Structure 1
Amino acid sequence: MKKLLSHISLFLIPILVIWILAEVFYRTVPNNYTYKHKQISNNTDIEVLILGDSHTFYGINPEFLSLKAYNLSNVSQTIYFDKLLFEKHIKQLSKLKYLILAVDYTTLSQADNTQEDIWRKYFYESQMDLDVPLIKWYNPKKYSLALTRKFDKTWQTCEEYHNKGTLIGCDANGWGNTYLSTVDSVEMNRLAHVVAKKHEDGSLDFSLNTERIQQMIDLCQSKNIQVLLVNMPSVPEYVSVLNAEKWQKIDAVCQLLETNNSNVTRIDLLEDKRFVLKDFQDADHLNADGAKKCSLVIDQYLNKL
């Protein structure tokens, strides 16, 4: 029996050590979640708040907006978390005048607790101080970030920290400042198909996420805040292989939200000809130069409102 327990201990101890090290790593090393939570909590005088996924995270740079702005977008951030973040911080943002909200191909159709939300939700709750209804009290991952991701993903994150010396991929204004390359035109057609396939969930049910946007609009209306619904730029090769019926429905929802709400302005930059290949990091993300161009375009709208 003692021999059996000894063998079990030899097996379990390394696992326990790895788990503890991973937990300490996630709890102590600053990342986009911890950094943005700290920044937005200390920037209570901002006038423009930017929400959305990686398209706005990399694509809208507050530096080029006339008013004081903060980019609270993040990679793979869904409307579900946009709404939770907005509702958490709106009370302290007494000077907020404008909310910029991205509506992209996946925004309206993505179901809750799918794709990267499966693990990211734990980081929003733990590191951005959100109450996330998707997470039940009896879920062990609620109490251990090391359990939320597969070991190979944790290892990759550790390697990234070792190589770069940081996990923070944004500047003091929340803008994702690491997209500095230009997409390869030779690879564009193949890349566009790969990205489009990744983004297609096959759903045309927009009801839940449209309602969430409407609730955010209503909250803004009650506080005299203008809402800018932005369709971020993408390369033509990417747009051409998306489901046309779905985009027409997305377009119709955006138009309806603008028509039915006096505090909403829709900015459709999806196929805007001002954005050329050199402005893109890949098929659907702007690089730093493209972000500057996009931010200046949006600033023109802000100055007109």
Structure 2
Amino acid sequence: MRNFLLKLIALLLFLGIIFIILEYLVFQKNSNPFSYKYNLFQEENVEVVVAGNSHLLFGVKADSLSFKTINIANKGRELETDVDILMKYLDHIESLKAVIIPVSFYSLFTELNNFSKDHIKQKRLYYRFYKLENYNQGIYKNSLLINEPYKELIDNSFLNPFTKKSYFSKLGWRANNVSFEADSQIKSKINNLEQSIHHKKVISKNINRLQDLIDFCSDKEIQLFVVLPPYSEYFYSLTKSKYTGIIKGILKDNFKDLTIIESNMFMSTDLDFYENSDHLNAKGATLYTKKIDSILRKNIK
């Protein structure tokens, strides 16, 4: 019995050591979208930071702008996360001139909470890789090994040739060189959107968060550009441009001097430029970035 207990204790210790190695060395140190974007803050002489979610991750080619730019956008990121990251990490970038951040139906009408699995995952990843202490959910929910062993945390570069996905560029941009394909979940997304536009408390919170960022940028003499992202003609055919108008109205009602870039005023909605209803493909990103670059060159002081 004693030998059995000793062997059991030894086994548990061994497994514990393996767990610690995987949890805090392998997964924590492995190259992934979150660690990659976090490391971009170490770039020198950065003049423009592109933040936000997949709309600008796939849309703005940081490597092609006239200004030294990093694209720290990540899929599924919410407005409050962007504000938390920017207000924590922009202080040390002395050369910074401007920040670009999208405000879309996804970011304005939703917020992080402790009920959605996606939101819990997002908090875990930004706590672990961006050190956002207010996203701490406790040992179990913070664990990468228990909750996220492979999907988000393994360097996806070796899989890209098989999935038709592109690599991250050196400065963080990524879009896929694919033709348009209608999203299988688009009707469901629009149904959810129709519900979320009535979340007045959430919208109010996000307006306050955006105001915090505006004040922060003003204090640091950083120009803030808020982007209403580009959408395809397919998306507009399903929504009749309703939500873009709602978002624009909310922003104009709450912010008098906010610089808003309305993508639908200059970006083609032709399906040739889109991967799906609301994301640009590589061809679209090339065109869109040229137009964004022109706007920045005219407006950055």
**What's the TM-score once normalised by structure 1's chain length?**
0.80
For 1:1-305, list aligned pairs within 5 A. 23=23, 24-43=25-44, 45-113=45-113, 114=116, 116-128=118-130, 130-136=131-137, 139-141=138-140, 144-149=143-148, 154=150, 160=156, 163=159, 169-177=167-175, 179-184=176-181, 188=182, 192-197=186-191, 202=196, 203-205=198-200, 206-242=203-239, 246-256=243-253, 260-261=256-257, 264-270=258-264, 272=266, 274-305=268-299
SS, match of residue 230 in structure 1: strand
Gaps of 5+ in 1: none
Q: Is the 2:46–2:68 Cα contact (8 Å) retained in structure 1?
A: yes
Contact 2:183 2:276 in 1 (8 A): no
C-alpha distance in 2 between matches for 1:104 and 1:156 = 24
Going from structure 1 to structure 2, the CA distance change for 1:99 and 1:288 (only over 3 Å counts) comes to same
Cα distance in 1 for residues equivalent to 2:109 and 2:5? 51
Using the TM superposition, name which of 22-31 and 273-282 deviates more: 22-31
Deviates more, 1:12-21 or 1:22-31: 12-21
CA contact (8 A) 2:28 2:128 kept: no
Cα pair distance change 1:13/1:76, threshold 3 Å: same
Q: Match of 1:182, as an amino acid?
A: S
Change (3 A) 1:21 1:134: closer
The separation in 2 between residues aligned to 1:303 and 1:295, in whole angstroms, is 12
**What is the distance in 2 between the residues matched to 1:109 and 1:88?**
23
Deviation, structure 1 residue 299: 1.1
CA, structure 1 residues 66+292, in 2 after alignment: closer, same or farther (shift >3 Å)?
same
- 2-side partners of 1:220 and 1:90: how far apart? 9
Tell whether the 8 Å contact from 1:53 to 1:102 is kept in structure 2 after alignment.
yes
Aligned mates of 1:168, 1:125 — CA distance in 2? 27
Shift of 1:31: 0.8
- Give the C-alpha shift of residue 55 in structure 1: 0.8
Deviations 1:172-208 (A, max 9, x none): 111124x111113xxx385642543465653432100
RMSD: 3.5
Contact 1:30 1:168 in 2 (8 A): no
Pair 1:200–1:53, CA change in 2 (3 A): farther
Number of equivalent positions: 290
Worse overlay, 76-85 or 139-148: 139-148
CA distance in 1, matches of 2:38, 2:152: 23
- Report the Cα offset of residue 50 of structure 1: 0.7
The superposition leaves residues 10-54 of structure 1 with CA deviations (integer Å, 9 ceiling, x where unpaired) of: x989986985675354123211111222221233x2111111001
Give % identity. Answer: 23
Larger mean Cα displacement after TM superposition, 100-109 or 234-243: 234-243
Aligned 8 A contact 2:51 2:82 in 1: yes
- Give the letter aligned to residue 120 of structure 1: Q
Distance 1:240 1:97 in 2: 37
- Mean Cα deviation higher: 18-27 or 156-165: 156-165
Whether contact under 8 Å (1:58, 1:287) holds in the other structure is yes
Change (3 A) 1:35 1:181: same
3-state SS of paired residue (1:176): coil
Distance 1:160 1:12, change over 3 A: farther
CA distance in 2, matches of 1:155, 1:19: 18
3-state SS in 1 of match to 2:180:
coil
Over 3 Å counting, the alpha-carbon distance change for 1:21 and 1:90 in structure 2 is closer
Specify whether residues 272 and 255 from structure 1 end up closer, same or farther in structure 2 by C-alpha distance, changes over 3 A only.
same
| Preserved CA contact (<8 Å) 1:55 1:284 | yes
**What TM-score comes out, normalization by structure 2 length?**
0.81
**Change in CA separation of 1:87 and 1:156 when aligned onto 2, cut-off 3 Å:** closer
Q: What one-letter code is carried by the residue in structure 1 that aligns with 2:285?
A: A
